Amino acid sequence: MSLRNALLAMLTSQPMTGYDVYKNFQTSVGYVWHAPDSQIYPELRRMEQDGLIRGETVPWGKRGTKKRYSITEAGVESFEAWLNAPPEYQRERDPVRLRAAYLEWANPTASADFFRAHIAYHSARVEDWEDMIRTLLDHSNPTLAKRIEGKAREEVARITAYKVFAYEGMIARAQAEIEWAEKGLELVERLGGQG
Ligand code: VNL
């Protein structure tokens, strides 16, 4: 359901071919909702069958054609209904916390590597998201650039601010992960494990 909403979000910026949806996705909403092309193309076909998007055949190259999707009225309604509905939560299923809970069984060197990998992973994500915030604020992100085309300055500021806010939330969470893993390194140092 969330992938569907992420794809609807893409098509609220402009009509696009399946390939352009995929490309825009990877450099925008895909940072907050990761999905591979193997999920995106079939979902677009299902969304067309469900009337949320409409595919029209447009000329391409010398003789070719391609299908360009636009969001339908029903698609906009479904997107707005989701945005106005109460949030849904999935109960915890966190492999990192699961593993952390049993480190008394692990080799302390492997445990230290585990926490260092956790720090490296989240540090890289913080950098990616900080870069994304920069390209949102200077409007150089291509999906955002299309979305704000012809819009008034205040509307552009509003559209941008919510997107930046989403990334700020992810950065805050990643920083908490980094601090937690740093404490984990100290804990392993202090308590050790097996072997
Ligand atoms: C958009 C552009 C969304 C860049 C993004 O993430 C992003 C957009 C939610 O205009 O839909 O990073």
Give me the CATH number covering residue 14. 1.10.10.10
Residue where one domain finishes, among candidates 84, 113, 147:
84
Domain count, the chain: 2
Shortest-distance Cα residue to atom 4 of ligand 1: 28
The rounded distance, in Å, linking the Cα atoms of 191 and 99 is 16
Residue 122 tokens read as 């989240």
Residue 1 has pLDDT above 90, yes or no: no
For the stretch 117-135, pLDDT in tens is: 999 999 999 999 999 999 9
Bridge partners (DSSP) listed for residue 55: 69
Please state, in angstroms and rounded to a whole number, the distance separating the CA atoms of residues 189 and 195: 14
Condensed to tens digits (0 to 9), the pLDDT of residues 49-81 reads: 999 999 999 999 999 999 999 999 999 999 999
Rounded mean pLDDT of the chain? 97
Tell me the per-residue pLDDT of 180-192, one tens digit each, with 9 for 90 and over. 999 999 999 999 8
Residue nearest to atom 12 of ligand 1 (CA): 28
Query: What span, in angstroms and rounded, lies between the C-alpha atoms of 153 and 144?
Result: 14
pLDDT above 80 for 195: no
* Ligand 1 site-directed mutation target among 10, 29, 140, most atoms within 8 Å of CB: 29
User: Any idea what the Cα angle at residue 38 is, between residues 32 and 144, rounded to 5°?
Assistant: 35
* CA of 143 relative to ligand 1 center, distance in Å: 6
Q: Are residues 78 and 113 in the same domain?
A: no
Same domain, 32 and 10: yes
pTM higher than 0.85, yes or no?
yes
pLDDT for the residue 194:
83
Rounded to whole angstroms, the Cα distance separating 42 from 4 reads: 11
Those residues whose C-beta lies under 8 Å from the C-beta of residue 195, and which sit 6 or more positions away, are 107, 108
**43 and 19 in one domain?**
yes
Residue-wise pLDDT for 144-174, tens only, equals: 999 999 999 999 999 999 999 999 999 999 9
Distance from the CA of 163 to the center of ligand 1, in angstroms?
6
CB burial of 116-145 (b: ≥16 within 10 Å; e: otherwise) equals: eebbeebeebbeebeebbebbeeeebbbbe
Residues within a 6 A CB radius of ligand 1 = 9, 13, 28-29, 31-32, 132, 136, 141, 143-144, 147, 163, 166
Angle at 36 between CA 22 and CA 38, to 5 degrees: 90
> In the chain, what is the straight-line distance between the N-terminal and C-terminal CA atoms, in Å?
45
Taking the centre of ligand 1 as the mean of its atom positions, its distance from the CA of residue 147, in whole angstroms, is: 9
Q: Give the range of the structural domain holding residue 131, as residue numbers without chain letter.
A: 95-191
Q: Grade residue 111 by pLDDT with cuts at 50, 70 and 90.
A: very high
As a whole number of angstroms, the distance between CA 33 and CA 38 comes to: 14
Assign 104 a pLDDT band (cuts: 50, 70, 90): very high
Q: What is the largest CA-CA distance in the chain?
A: 70
> What's the pLDDT at 4?
98
What pLDDT band is residue 99 in, cutting at 50, 70 and 90?
very high
In a domain, 134, yes or no: yes
The verdict on residue 109 lying in a domain is yes
| Residue 89, in any domain of the structure | no
pLDDT score, position 115 = 98
7 located within any domain? yes
Q: Which of 49, 84, 119 is the last residue of a domain?
A: 84
pLDDT for res 193: 82
**Is 70 exceeded by the pLDDT of residue 16?**
yes
> Ligand 1, atom 10: nearest CA belongs to which residue?
144
